[in-house]
Structure 1
Amino acid sequence: MKLKSIDLVLIALMTALLIVLSLVAPIPIGVIPVPVTLQLLGVMLVGLILGPLRAALVVLLYVSMALVGIPVLPGGRAGLAVLTGPTGGFLLGMIPGASVVGWLGYQSEAVKWRARSSGGQIARGVLAGVAGGVVVVYALGVPWMIWVTGLTPIKAMVAVAIFIPIDIVKAVIASVLAYQVKRSINV
């Protein structure tokens, strides 16, 4: 797919939105090294609005910015140390996660936002957000966290279990917002 000027503008705008959502102060939860942030909400929103390729490019640009030291991660963090730490797998998992959200959103007709039945479209968006934003990101993030921290798989699963309902709520919010954006403008 050849990117047009409008694609580059949308990628830049959605990268800025992802950065803004990421810079909202992280909320630490208990004894686990992964805080609650709005990053995943941004990833789901980007996927639902832009589709698989452009969404993956947004998150790749975002992670690349963090890698070279631009403080775009929660708490203004950046650098190789953050990407190789306990949250690194979650950050890297957001790249394919955004693509999966975008692909499922488009495949499930979740992008037909102008149709009359908003409930079904929002539900499809939630499912796309959960599949890509939760399942894919966790599938890469949890093993990485186990490897870096030395947690047992059971302890790691228990540690991240608190995030699942929070991330499902993020999927609902992302789907509702994406529905409104898609109804308002042709992206």
Structure 2
Amino acid sequence: MERSLTHIALFAALVAILGLVPQITLATGVPITAQSLGIMLCGTVLGARRGALAVLLFLALVATGLPLLSGGRGGLGVFVGPTVGFLIGFPIAAFVIGWLMERTTLPVGLAAGAASAIGGIAVLYLFGIAGMSVMLDKTPAEAAMLTGAFLPGDALKVVLAGFVTQAIARMRPGALLSRA
């Protein structure tokens, strides 16, 4: 139990740290950040339950006002902006990624990449598009077109998540809780 709490806290901190990487803000007001890589790693390394809990802890800290999102944003106001769909989708994406990692027999790197693509792009984009559609008063098709700007960067993050997870599995196999 204590070990799980430590991992959850460490990965919540990882997601926060990845928000410090300089962002690129699109005209829609939605920034391109490295934080979604953290969401992917929460699932690939910690598994479904712990990964989702790490992201929920991160979001709880953001809700209390800590400036942990890219650009130093935090507080309840971020949950009524154009990024709300992505924020709601973060823990669900981490859960899906972890769930897939726990159930696949593919090699670790390939499994992590595939799970990150499904959870970190497909699932997360469903929520992000819905949030942008509502908050920006766009049709779902228009919001999907706006979200398409994120795809190249997120594809790179999928590859990175696969490599990082594979490296962790090689260096410290016991640390890969999604495969324990």
TM over 0.5: yes
The 8 Å contact of residues 14 and 38 in structure 2, kept in 1 or not, is answered as: yes
Misfit runs of 4+, over 6 Å: none
Q: 1:125 aligns with which of 112, 115, 118?
A: 112
Cα distance in 2 for residues equivalent to 1:9 and 1:153: 39
State the SS of the aligned residue for 1:162. helix
Return the offset for 1:109: 2.8
CA distance in 2, matches of 1:109, 1:69: 41
1:66 aligns with 2:62: yes
Letter in 1 for 2:90: M
* Whole-Å separation in 2 of the counterparts to 1:106 and 1:175: 15
SS in 2 for 1:145: helix
3-state DSSP of counterpart to 2:32? coil
1:19 aligned partner, one-letter code: A
Cross-structure match for 1:139: 126
Unmatched 5+ stretches in structure 2: 176-180
Matched length: 174
Kept in 2, the 8 Å contact 1:26–1:35? The answer is yes
Q: Distance in 1 between matches of 2:71 and 2:29?
A: 14
Deviation at 1:168, TM superposition (A): 1.4
Q: Percent identity?
A: 37
Please list, as runs of the form range in 1=range in 2, the aligned pairs for 1:1-187 lying within 5 A after superposition: 4-29=1-26, 31-109=27-105, 120-185=107-172, 186-187=174-175
Unaligned runs of 5+ in 1: 111-119
| Structure-2 separation of matches of 1:6 and 1:95 | 20
Give the structure-2-normalised TM-score: 0.92
* Partner SS state of residue 23, structure 1: coil
Partner SS state of residue 31, structure 2: coil
Taking the aligned partners of 1:162 and 1:70, their CA distance within structure 2 comes to: 28
Distance 2:136 2:120 in 1: 23
Q: CA RMSD in A?
A: 1.2
Distance in 1 (CA, whole Å) between partners of 2:67 and 2:149 is: 27
Give the C-alpha shift of residue 76 in structure 1. Answer: 1.1
Distance 1:109 1:102 in 2: 13
